[in-house]
Chains A and B, each alone.
Chain A
Amino acid sequence: MNALVFIEYKDNKIKKSSLECLSAVKGDSHTIQTCAIGAGSDQLTAALGAWGVTKHYSCTDVDTYNPELYKNFVAKVIEQTKPDVIVATSNNVGRDIFPRVAAQFSMAYMSDITEVEMDSDLEVKRPLYAGKCTAQVTFTDDSGKILLLRPNQISVVEASESVTTENIAIAAGAPSGQSETLSVEKGESEKLDLTEAETIVSGGRGLKEAENFKLLHDLAAPLNATVGASRAVVDLGWVPHSLQVGQTGKTVAPSLYFAIGISGAIQHLAGMSGSKNVVAINKDEKAPIFQKSTYGLVGDLFEIVPVLTEKLKSL
């Protein structure tokens, strides 16, 4: 199989989510080629060699995100590499460019993939209804496939090859004049996004007031966690929608999820029930969140959370 992996990187380092994509395609019977766009996208060959990547396509003339230019770059790479399968991360970049690529090349497309097996036959699974069930993704013909992998689902294997990766520079196409990027302002948050976080500390209406989210930020610090929220507190305007976990927010699957002052409504459970371990802190022992939790602490969050924070700091 001829695979093309779309690589994202930061500070000259390949992002973990892209290493997960490389891990998914790694196998003796595959040729892996990669592509990346942005300043420094040509500097990744040393790291890619360990993954057995023979050819890396890069484009350094575009640095500001623009869906049209990114897509045109990927289209040029596809014309040169003719991949059977393209693998990228299911995030706001992947989801912004690959549906158009799929339409242009009439390829099969699937996002949010949580399990993938490429050894013999291609086996792919993903959640549906925000995690209320999962299904197998079946491809009915042999057209090329675009697979977008949800972060944090595929374990990163060790890369131990020593191939020399050839860098092939691709010139960005001229913009069509249809679209223009006016501004990109990096968020100050150094924290991982909810969808990529290993640990999430989520709060709900039980926190009583917006200011009390500080308790959660204090708890998140020693855990190196990302803060999330229920819809109730998003609707109250305490935190932005980008923090909402649930069926109309983000679907998350961290190793450790704290639900603090969250009742566990079906829409919230849908978004976080894929978490490997769930700790619920709630004063109501009948709160539905306990049915989906690994560990339950019944009590006042205002008493428990500060004690927990201090304990974690002392570790």
Chain B
Amino acid sequence: MRIFVCIKQVPDTETRIKLTSDSQGIDPTGVKWVINPYDEFAIEEAIRFKEANDDVQVTAITVGPKARVNNALLTAMAMGVDDSLLVNTDAALDALTTAQALANAIKAEGEFGLVLAGKLAIDGNVSAVPLMLAELLGIPHASVVNSTEYSDGFVTAGREIEGGTTEKFKLRLPAMITANKGLNKPRFASLPGIMKAKKKPIKEVSLDDLGIKTESIKVKFTNFELPAEKPACKMLGGSPEDQVNELVKLLQEEAKVL
């Protein structure tokens, strides 16, 4: 069975965001790029499936500029992914165009049994590409999944949503699963894994090869702004009783939230 894991590179969570001088984007200087944390759960899920079943090929797939995303693919392959498929482009695509590129790239590869992705990417937080991709591939999905169980031709996926509600869905394979924290504990790449990754194939395709036009982009981010500086914090002094009395007064009279 062929499994595709969709991965994205995002700025490390430590990154302090700076804007470009025209405020039309973020300044990439000094940004450290890492695999989106939720995608690591998806990678781990795929590798575990491979370890538990015969004849499984796990392919990492990503859309982005080669110079930047290559590292993410190498890391995924060092964790245990077999090979990679890179849609190499510098263009800033929107979610739907990205999903179309992924769908066309996956369809061109032939049959597959499972597509995995992180529940969202922590840069844009749009959380749309995987389910758009599922729609374009015509397969069912379960999102924000924290448990899975596979049985011949099906996957049972569990998730927890707002208010502690838990839901369980049974999907016919091929299916799309988007991973939440808690699905598993992603492994670290081992040293031999890192060595092996260097020899694993990365297949490259362009948007042209896939028939995707950047004119089809419908949504762009413009006019970026940094949050307004907060006024200095009011430090409340005295005994715990004094501090609490003053706080409650401020919350009532100044902030007007009580």
Q: A67-B141, A100-B132 are in contact. Are A137 and B219 (CB under 8 A)?
A: yes
Cα distance, A177 to B160, chains bound together (Å): 23
Choose among B146, B166, B224 the residue that contacts A134 (Cβ–Cβ < 8 A).
B224
Taking CB atoms and an 8 Å cut-off, the chain A residues in 268-315 that contact chain B are 270, 273-274, 276-277, 279-280, 285, 290-300, 303-304, 307-308, 311-312, 315
Interface residue? A80 (CB, 8 A) = no
Interface residue? A40 (CB, 8 A) = no
Chain B residues positioned under 8 Å from A166 (CB to CB):
none
Interface majority SS on A: helix, strand, loop or mixed?
mixed
Closest 5 CB pairs of A and B: A187-B164, A193-B162, A103-B135, A99-B131, A179-B140
Q: Check if A133 sits within 8 Å of B17, measured CB to CB.
A: yes
Bits for A167-209, please: 1 = Cβ < 8 Å to B, else 0. 0000000001111111111111101110110010000000000
Interface residue? B67 (CB, 8 A) = no
Interface residue? B99 (CB, 8 A) = yes
Cα distance, A268 to B220, chains bound together (Å): 27
Interface residue? B106 (CB, 8 A) = no
Interface residue? B66 (CB, 8 A) = no
Cα distance, A283 to B170, chains bound together (Å): 49
Cα distance, A276 to B168, chains bound together (Å): 36
Bits for B121-144, please: 1 = Cβ < 8 Å to A, else 0. 011111111111111100111111
Bits for A232-244, please: 1 = Cβ < 8 Å to B, else 0. 0000000011101
Cα distance, A176 to B162, chains bound together (Å): 27
Q: Check if B235 sits within 8 Å of A290, measured CB to CB.
A: yes
A selection of 25 A-B contacts at a CB cut-off of 8 Å is A99-B95, A99-B135, A100-B132, A100-B134, A103-B132, A103-B136, A108-B96, A111-B128, A128-B17, A128-B124, A129-B123, A132-B16, A134-B224, A138-B219, A143-B218, A179-B141, A182-B168, A187-B164, A189-B163, A193-B163, A195-B162, A266-B14, A276-B257, A295-B234, A299-B240
Interface residue? B258 (CB, 8 A) = yes
Cα distance, A290 to B236, chains bound together (Å): 12
Interface residue? B52 (CB, 8 A) = no
Interface residue? A251 (CB, 8 A) = yes
Query: Which stretch from A31-39, A55-63, A88-96, A210-218 is at the chain B interface?
Result: A88-96
Interface residue? B190 (CB, 8 A) = no
A267 to chain B, nearest CB (A): 5
Chain A residues positioned under 8 Å from B226 (CB to CB):
132-133
Chain B residues positioned under 8 Å from A180 (CB to CB):
169-171
Cα distance, A128 to B23, chains bound together (Å): 13
Q: Check if B172 sits within 8 Å of A177, measured CB to CB.
A: yes
Q: Check if A184 sits within 8 Å of B165, measured CB to CB.
A: yes
Q: Check if A135 sits within 8 Å of B224, measured CB to CB.
A: yes
Q: Check if B140 sits within 8 Å of A68, measured CB to CB.
A: yes
Interface residue? A136 (CB, 8 A) = yes
- Please name 9 further chain A to chain B contacts, defined as beta carbons within 8 Å, in addition to the given A183-B166, A241-B182, A270-B13, sorted by A numbering: A103-B99, A103-B131, A103-B135, A108-B96, A137-B220, A191-B163, A195-B162, A248-B181, A256-B255
Cα distance, A111 to B128, chains bound together (Å): 8
Q: A100-B132, A280-B233, A294-B234 are in contact. Are A140 and B225 (CB under 8 A)?
A: no
Q: Check if B165 sits within 8 Å of A109, measured CB to CB.
A: no
Nearest chain-A residue to B131 (Cβ)?
A99
Q: Check if B221 sits within 8 Å of A137, measured CB to CB.
A: yes
Interface residue? B193 (CB, 8 A) = no
Nearest chain-B residue to A111 (Cβ)?
B126
Q: Check if A140 sits within 8 Å of B162, measured CB to CB.
A: no
Bits for B166-182, please: 1 = Cβ < 8 Å to A, else 0. 11111110010000111
Interface residue? A255 (CB, 8 A) = yes
Chain A residues positioned under 8 Å from B169 (CB to CB):
66-67, 179-182
Q: Check if B219 sits within 8 Å of A179, measured CB to CB.
A: no
Chain A residues positioned under 8 Å from B171 (CB to CB):
178-180
Cα distance, A181 to B220, chains bound together (Å): 36
Q: A112-B125, A135-B222 are in contact. Are A315 and B258 (CB under 8 A)?
A: yes
A123 to chain B, nearest CB (A): 10
